[in-house]
Amino acid sequence: MIDISIIVPIYNAEKYLNKCIKSLLNQTKKELEFILVNDGSTDSSEEIIKSYKDKRIKYYKNENQGIGKTRNFGINKATGKYIMFLDSDDYLVTDACEEMYKKAETENLDLVVCDFYRIEDEKKEEIKIAEFKNTALKQNPKLLLEVNLAPWNKLYNRNLLEKYKIRFVEDLKYEDAPFVIEAMDKAKKIGHVKKPLNCYILHKNSETTIRDERVFDIIQIVDKIRNYFKTRKEFTESVDKLTVRILTNYTIQQRVQQDKEVGMDFIDRAFDYMKEHIPDYKDNKYYESRGFLRRTIEKNKFLTKIYCKLYKD
């Protein structure tokens, strides 16, 4: 019996793939399957995958489709009771699957989240999710703000994903958030393992840090999230705060935008979006957590543009 299917989308990951795969094979829990989906890699990723002979590895090779379609492909191939996601440049702590599975089974959870390590330039920082007792999103809307909206560091009941046909947005960047939010919303009970079990690697040239013209996709993603909750007034405060947080973060990140003209255009459109959908966005509680200088810049389109133009690495 397969307890957990772990889905790993792979695209030109030769530098990191061995560490990722070894962390799967070395799990203390053994009733696993590893769905490795090669999304049209042009490097030696395929050779690395084929060098492992473990029967739990299910290898698929597709033409390049993007990470949303690749993860959906993996979900459709999964046979485990639960599903996890792991990025090909990240890795798991040895007892990650055992801890997550035990929590889900003993406490009858649809979704389990865990703390994680954020590793950048070999500096390892433990990221702790705000503590919560087993709950549901309807009971605790603040989870939208307190749980990271990436699909990894989470265990999903596969029946939950199938019952509600929860899948990743395809053909847009930043496809993670709507998937995680819908899974949290549909889960009857969500639990938290207060241990860092996932190692998230942040690279200078990763998808997370590169800013290009695809940054406009984040506005569409935010709009999908807002539309999902538009008739549910109990979520208005949390969704507005999440909107302001996401768009503010991405406007400030235009300081590293490769094309400054694109960056300035994005700042215009992000501020226009907030002004249209949250007219009093400058009074949003998100800014209370920011220092005086930061919030002064972040609330003001003109100052944000000046900051991004003058910023030097």
Those residues whose C-beta lies under 8 Å from the C-beta of residue 180, and which sit 6 or more positions away, are 147, 149, 150, 151, 154
Q: What is the pLDDT of residues 294-309, one digit of tens each?
A: 999 999 999 999 999 9
**What is the model's pTM?**
0.95
- Work out the burial of residue 157: count CB atoms within 10 Å of its CB; fewer than 13 is exposed, 13-18 middle, 19 or more buried: buried
Give per-residue pLDDT as tens, 51-79: 999 999 999 999 999 999 999 999 999 99
Strands 4-10 and 32-39: parallel
What pLDDT score was predicted for residue 211?
63
Report the CATH superfamily, name and number, of domain 4-201.
Spore Coat Polysaccharide Biosynthesis Protein SpsA; Chain A (3.90.550.10)
pLDDT tens string 216-250:
999 999 999 999 999 999 999 999 999 999 999 99
> What's the rounded Cα separation, in Å, for the pair 58 and 177?
26
How is the chain split into domains, by residue range? 4-201, 213-310
Distance CA 134, CA 143 (A): 12
pLDDT in tens, 85-143: 999 999 999 999 999 999 999 999 999 999 999 999 889 999 999 999 999 999 999 99
Q: How far apart are CA 298 and CA 303, in angstroms?
A: 7
For residue 54, which phi and psi values (nearest 5 degrees)? -65, 130
- Asked if residues 263 and 254 have their Cβ atoms less than 8 Å apart, the reply is yes
